[in-house]
Homo-oligomer: A and B are copies of this chain.
């Protein structure tokens, strides 16, 4: 019964990873890493999860997940996880410094691995781009968009109109982030680019506006 939905469960001592290599390594098995892992499990894609918090390892195991205890920045653990044979490295660590350290180790020693990362905020995201990650997602960005969409509807927007505002904002913000990569080490330029972008976005949205929300 358990085996049916867990797939190949590997029992392992802490810090030792047995068996063949898996195509995906997930570093950090917290809120984000667990969802990626569950999605892979659903699709029968085996992965190796690395998590540095023993309490967290214990909790996620109780809920039936596969995860190994260890510090993902350590080269010996990465080798034990067969990072040299894996295809993808999911970096789901919310501490920006730790995340960047791991990204650097992986890029240096396992350059064949594509890194898909979570970023704490736009500053973390900009630094991940510098290190050469293939893709990043800001960890609270998409939930913020979702909340905004529901908030606008709660204030009287149609679903269509709320989604339009959110998608224009999101596309614009993602583009801004790419532009900001060039000026990320200059705070005044960063602030200036944020302000200019906001003015541009405002006029963009207003050119398509068919009436403001009325608050009763």
Which residues on A are within 8 Å of B, measured CB to CB? 4-5, 23-24, 31-32, 35-36, 38-40, 42-45, 62-64, 87-88, 90, 92, 114, 116, 118, 121, 134-135, 137-148, 150-152, 154-155, 165-166, 169, 191, 194-195, 198-199, 201-202, 205, 212-213, 215-216
In contact, B191 and A62 (Cβ under 8 angstroms)? yes
A199: B residues at CB distance < 8 A: 4-5
Contacts A5-B199, A23-B215, A39-B165 aside, 12 further interface pairs with beta carbons under 8 A come to A5-B195, A31-B121, A36-B144, A40-B151, A63-B191, A64-B198, A135-B154, A138-B143, A139-B139, A139-B144, A141-B143, A142-B145
Out of B39, B88, B134, B140, which one reaches A143, CB within 8 Å? B140
List, sorted by A's number, 25 A–B pairs whose CB atoms are closer than 8 Å. Answer: A5-B198, A5-B202, A24-B151, A31-B121, A32-B140, A32-B144, A35-B144, A36-B148, A38-B169, A39-B151, A39-B152, A39-B166, A40-B151, A42-B165, A43-B165, A43-B205, A63-B194, A64-B195, A64-B198, A88-B151, A116-B154, A118-B143, A135-B150, A142-B143, A143-B143
Q: Using A143-B140, A147-B36 as known contacts, say yes or no to A152 and B215 having CB atoms under 8 A apart.
A: no
A interface, over-half SS? helix
In contact, B139 and A143 (Cβ under 8 angstroms)? yes
In contact, A155 and B213 (Cβ under 8 angstroms)? no
A92: B residues at CB distance < 8 A: 147
In contact, A43 and B116 (Cβ under 8 angstroms)? no
A32: B residues at CB distance < 8 A: 140, 143-144, 147
Q: How many angstroms from the CA of A148 to the CA of B142 in the assembled complex?
A: 13
